[in-house]
Amino acid sequence: MRTFDFLGKAKYFVPLSLALVVASVLSIALVGLRAGVDFTGGTQFTVFFPQPVTTEQIRSLLAQIPTPGVDLAHSQIQNIQGENGKVITIALDVEEHQELVNRVEAALRDELGATEVSRASVGAQVSRELVNKTWQAILIALAAILVYISWRFRLRYAVGAIAALVHDVLIAVGVFSILQVEINLPVIAAFLTIVGYSLNDTIVIFDRVRENLKVMKKASIYEVINRSVTQSLSRTINTSLTTFIPVVILFALGGPVLRGFALALLIGVIVGTYSSMYVANPILYWWTRAAEKAKGRA
C-alpha cells in the first residue's frame, strides 16, 4: 500500500486552520450571532383552522406582515397531531411588540380563517436558562471526552482530539456569524452532532496509530501517523460521502426551519473530516516529538 505524506502537508493546512479559526472568532466578537426565538424570547401561537392549512400558506402570510428587523417567514411552525392546528413561534415578545403580535393574530383569523387562537410568551428568563444549559452541555461533553480519551489512549491523544473538536465548532459557528444564519435549539443539536462526528473520525485514526506503534516498532512516529491515516482514508471518505449526500439533500429540500440544522451538519462533515487528518494528527506528532526530545536530554 502506498503511504501518503499527510504530515508533510501540515505546514500548509495548519496555518489555514489558524486563519479560519481567527476569522471565526473575530466575526463572533465583532458581528455577533443571530439568536433565534429559543434564546431571545418571543410569542407562541396555538392556532386551529376549520380546514387544513399548509405550512407554506402560513409562511407566505407571515412574510407579508411588515416587522422591522424580524423575518417572520422563518418562524417555527409545527403541526398539531390529528387536528387542523399549528403551533407558530415568532421572534416578537408580546410585551415589547404587542401591536405587531396583535397584527399577526388578526391576519391568522382574517386571512386564513383561524377559529381559535391562543398565545403564550416565551420569556427572557427561560431563554437565559437555555443559553446556560447549552454552554454547560458543551463544556461537560468536552471535559468527559478529554478524560475518556486520556484514559483509553494518552493525554496527547486527548488534547489533539479536543483541539480538532474546538476547531470544527468554532469554524461552524463563525460561518453562522458571517452569514447571519439564525441559531436555535436544532442548530445547537447539530453543533453537538459535529462534536460526535469529528471525534469518531479522529478516534478511528488514533486507534490505528496505537496499533501500528506496536507493529512498526522501528518506524518513526512520522511514518506511523502517515501510515495510519492512509489505512483509514477509504473508510473516512466513504463515511463522509454517505453522510454528506443526505445532508446536502436536507439542506436543499428541508425548508427554512431545517436549513440552519442542515448547514451546521454540512460544515461539520467537511471540517470534521479535514481536522481529523490535519489538526488532531499534527498535534499528536509535535507532542510526541517534543516528549522524545525531552526524554533524550534527560
Here the CATH number for the domain that contains residue 168 is 1.20.1640.10
- Give the closest residue to 184 by CA, choosing from 73, 259, 266: 259
Q: Are residues 29 and 177 in the same domain?
A: yes
Domain of residue 61 covers 42-122
**Residue corresponding to grid cell 409545527:** 78
Q: Are residues 80 and 99 in the same domain?
A: yes
State residue 126's pLDDT score. Answer: 56
Mean pLDDT of 155-178: 92
Q: Is 2 inside a domain boundary?
A: no
Q: How confident is the model at residue 82 (pLDDT cuts 50, 70, 90)?
A: low
Q: Are residues 94 and 203 in the same domain?
A: no
State residue 1's pLDDT score. Answer: 64
Q: Are residues 95 and 53 in the same domain?
A: yes
Q: Are residues 226 and 94 in the same domain?
A: no
Enumerate residues 6+ apart whose C-beta is below 8 A from 107: 61, 62, 64, 65
- CB of 282 closer than 8 Å to CB of 156: no
State residue 265's pLDDT score. Answer: 92
Q: Are residues 19 and 148 in the same domain?
A: yes
**CA dist 149 to 43, 52, 144, 203, Å?**
43, 52, 9, 9
Q: Are residues 75 and 219 in the same domain?
A: no
State residue 184's pLDDT score. Answer: 79
Q: Are residues 136 and 281 in the same domain?
A: yes
**CA dist 82 to 48, 52, 85, 86, 110, Å?**
11, 11, 8, 11, 24
Asked if residue 124 has pLDDT above 60, the reply is no
Q: Are residues 203 and 220 in the same domain?
A: yes
Q: Are residues 16 and 161 in the same domain?
A: yes
Q: Is 75 exposed, middle or buried (0-12, 13-18, 19+ CB in 10 A)?
A: buried
Domain end position, chosen among 56, 90, 122: 122
Mean pLDDT of 25-46: 83
Q: Are residues 204 and 71 in the same domain?
A: no
What's the pTM value of the predicted model, to 2 decimals? 0.79
State residue 177's pLDDT score. Answer: 92
Give the number of other CB atoms < 10 A from CB of residue 148: 14
